[in-house]
Chains A and B, each alone.
Chain A
Amino acid sequence: MSNAGRRPRLWIPLSLAGILLIALGAARGEVDTVFRKAIMICLECIGIG
């Protein structure tokens, strides 16, 4: 017997929740925070600071 079909397709609501959270985070300006951090060499992060 196959193990297929024994679990609800949880990946669907989880993915939709993920998309919603991405949109909410972007709307409140988190992407800019990520961008500002990522375009600088973070010496503290890599242990040279």
Chain B
Amino acid sequence: MVNASKQRIRGRGLIQLLFAALTNSFVTGFAAGKIYQGDLKRLCHPGLNCYSCPGAVLSCPIGALQAVIGSRAFNLSLYLMGFLLLVGATLGRFVCGFLCPFGMIQEWLYKIPFPWKRNRFRADTALRYLKYVMLVVLVIALPMLLVNDAGAGSPTFCKYVCPAGTLEGAVPLVLLSGAAKAPGDALPAGPLQPQALPGLPAGPPLLQGAAVLPGLEAQPVYQTGALFTWKMAVMALVILLSVVNYRPFCKYLCPLGAIYGLLNPVALYRLRMEESLCIHCGRCRKACLMCLDPEHRQNQPECVRCGDCVNACPTGALTMGFGDKRRTDETAGAASPARQTRG
């Protein structure tokens, strides 16, 4: 017999906040304009979280993927492919709904009252394919193929697009150092100085890409030129769009969302529909800010597992959790990271 207990997904905002705080808990970094250099950085964050953020204690999987692909030693990253496959096959885009700090920031922005909120428009579906272009062209192909004389590729997605890197890395570092200088200016002595690395010889500045003025070898120069202006413009656009459109970066641009989205249909964590309980009221479809139709398709690539449809369902036909089986009263509360209550 079907168990008609209604599931409620609660505490998602708190989980998002706690996970973001935990994975950006290097408080010294924020105070001193430095970044964390400990062993945890060998591991990756499941979500998009810039490893040049002063607080970040883990690596960004998209930054790391480009770093390995663009390195002289490797053309492909088995480590990152394995990590993304493992996370994607088990959690899918649960990561987007619960664990990604940049997804959380966009949700906060969408909560800002604005008279003209717009999620459904004609180009929406086509634009969602753009994130796959980002993945294939900017994250994989260009770092692999566009190499310098030394054989090293550039992290093209980070460099030209990623607003998370600008917001979480560039902005705090520039603000903390007061280092937004015109091209050619030397950075004054301050927190953004080369940092001593365990196991690596002291010497050249560790702040990659920094130019060094003759006579100022110990002091990297920061240039906020055209590239910085471009990145700030992309970030500003994403921030503004996030006020009117729910998670525009996740829908249209995020290569990590693209990877997890491809794995969403087969992931262990999933949406489930008990068709005998569905009264076809359409409330789940109305509740979905990603503009999906969970009554008819539960595990499509765009579903970020926010649970809004589950909460909106009046009969308990929709549930969310690990595996295909609905939870019975006996097992309720044991498996899901979100709380389940009787409705």
Interface 1/0 per residue, A3-14 and B, CB below 8 Å: 111110011001
Task: State how many residues of chain B have any CB contact under 8 Å with chain A.
Answer: 75
Asked if B209 and A44 sit within 8 Å, CB to CB, the answer is: yes
CA distance A1 to B297 in the complex (A): 15
Tier of interface size on chain A: 35 or more
Interface 1/0 per residue, B170-201 and A, CB below 8 Å: 10011000010000000000001000010000
Asked if A47 and B230 sit within 8 Å, CB to CB, the answer is: yes
Chain B positions within 8 Å of A23 at CB level: 82
User: How close is B89's CB to chain A, nearest CB, in angstroms?
Assistant: 4
- Decide: A30 near B86, CB < 8 A? Known: A37-B67, A42-B155, A47-B166: no
B136 within 8 A of A: no
- Decide: A41 near B207, CB < 8 A? Known: A10-B89, A18-B89, A48-B170: yes
Asked if B159 and A30 sit within 8 Å, CB to CB, the answer is: no
Contact of B79 among A7, A10, A30 (CB under 8 A): A30
Chain A positions within 8 Å of B42 at CB level: 31-32, 34-35, 38
Asked if A41 and B159 sit within 8 Å, CB to CB, the answer is: no
Chain B positions within 8 Å of A44 at CB level: 154-155, 158-159, 208-209
Asked if B266 and A34 sit within 8 Å, CB to CB, the answer is: no
CA distance A25 to B81 in the complex (A): 9
Asked if B227 and A47 sit within 8 Å, CB to CB, the answer is: yes
Contact of A48 among B224, B268, B274, B298 (CB under 8 A): B224
- Nearest chain-A residue to B78 (Cβ)? A25
- Decide: A43 near B206, CB < 8 A? Known: A22-B83, A24-B82: no
- Decide: A43 near B79, CB < 8 A? Known: A11-B266, A21-B85: no
User: How close is B118's CB to chain A, nearest CB, in angstroms?
Assistant: 29
Asked if B80 and A35 sit within 8 Å, CB to CB, the answer is: no
CA distance A26 to B131 in the complex (A): 28
Asked if B170 and A46 sit within 8 Å, CB to CB, the answer is: yes
- Pick from B4-12, B69-77, B101-109, B282-290 the stretch touching chain A: B69-77
List, sorted by A's number, 26 A–B pairs whose CB atoms are closer than 8 Å: A2-B272, A2-B273, A3-B298, A6-B324, A7-B266, A14-B88, A15-B85, A18-B89, A19-B86, A21-B79, A22-B78, A22-B86, A34-B41, A34-B67, A35-B39, A37-B51, A37-B63, A39-B35, A39-B37, A42-B63, A43-B210, A44-B159, A45-B165, A46-B166, A47-B159, A48-B223
What is the interface of chain A, defined by CB distance below 8 A to chain B? 1-7, 10-11, 14-15, 17-26, 28-35, 37-49
Known: A15-B89, A34-B79, A45-B159. 8 other contacts (CB 8 A): A22-B86, A35-B41, A35-B59, A37-B64, A39-B197, A41-B35, A42-B63, A42-B155
What is the interface of chain B, defined by CB distance below 8 A to chain A? 2, 35-37, 39, 41-42, 44, 50-52, 59-60, 63-64, 67-68, 71, 73-74, 77-90, 154-155, 158-159, 162, 165-166, 169-170, 173-174, 179, 192, 197, 206-210, 222-224, 227-228, 230-232, 263, 265-268, 272-276, 298, 324-326
